[in-house]
Amino acid sequence: MGNQMRKTFIITAVATLLAGTAVSAADTTLTISSYGGAYQEAQSKSYFQPFMAQNPDIKIVEDSASSNAKLKAMVETGNVTLDLLLTDDSFGLEADAQWLEPIDYSIVDKSKFIAGAAGTYRVASDIEGTVLAYNANEFGGEAPQGFADFFDTKKFPGSRAVWKYAASGIFEVALIADGVKPEDLYPIDVERALKKLDTIKSDLVWWESGSQSEQLLSSGEASMALVWVGRALGVAEKGIKIDWTNWTSQTGYWVVPKGTKNKEAAMKAISFFTEPAQQIEFTKYMPYGPSNKNALASVDNKFKGSLPTDHLDTRVLMNADWWAENGAKVDLRFQEWLLQ
């Protein structure tokens, strides 16, 4: 009887130990929300899976419905089920402090990022851009060189495709074409920009989705366009080229919702995701550049030369804080102009 009890005790003890190990292995679950599709698949291969391999005590659960509004609602109701969210230029600013945890720069090395990539409440995941794309078959061997040529319909005739969104960069493009230096863009002179846009208004065709911008270029309906870099490269085989003389910034940012129970693990993940090895791996799959300056020289050859970070010297860095404060008012004026 004594031996049987001893065996039972040992089996119970081992089972308890194994159960405890299983619990600790799944002790931290990080729920990460991003944009889905090929973009998030690339993040999973480059960031999420390697992170879990190095940190077996942390499990990543992916969500592909990134929404600033959803994050705000979670924080306001005290029911925070996301730990990390991928967002755009419009969010993660000082004005959004009530919904976000400050980035812990004792865990994340702030010095490794390129200019503008590390803020109080957000860290850049990748550097994107809106570029001037053109149909190389349209202009008899001539190529546009800068935003001024986007407005030169005599030298470069044809329709221009533009995102129907005030904060798309179109105001900045118009002002630079009108002679304003990038460093003098803000505050935006809205009326001056619209006056410049008046000069090509009859040549403008508007796009409202990335696929539509590709279609306008590939079909020949637009001979020139301001499009996201990935979309321009998506139709490169149709003779579409990019002019990097000027381009406007776009960025994907990591933010951490205020009240997450896994704040330290989220910061640890951000630190890992923005290390050179992971960011270089990401450039195998997507045409977006690293936010880590130490990864810039070692990007994969697949998109090398066509990454925004290969052309940082000509980047027009948009002022997200100015747009956060003034965007609604500018958009009203833009909508009014569209109807004139």
Q: What is the pLDDT of residue 317?
A: 95
For the chain, report the end-to-end CA distance as a whole number of angstroms: 95
pLDDT band at 141 (very low <50, low <70, confident <90, very high): confident
Ordered by where they begin, the domains of the chain are 2-127+251-309 (3.40.190.10), 129-250+315-339 (3.40.190.10)
pTM for the full predicted model: 0.90
273-278 long-range CB contacts below 8 Å, 24 or more apart? 273/43, 273/47, 273/51, 273/125, 274/108, 274/112, 274/113, 274/123, 274/124, 274/125, 277/50, 278/46, 278/47, 278/50
Read off the pLDDT of residues 114-137 as tens digits, 9 standing for 90 and up. Answer: 999 999 999 999 999 999 999 999
Average of per-residue pLDDT across 259-280: 98
pLDDT of residue 26: 59
Kindly state the average pLDDT of the residues 272-278: 98
Task: Please write the tens of the pLDDT for every residue from 162-209.
Answer: 999 999 999 999 999 999 999 999 999 999 999 999 999 999 999 999
Q: Specify the pLDDT at position 8.
A: 46
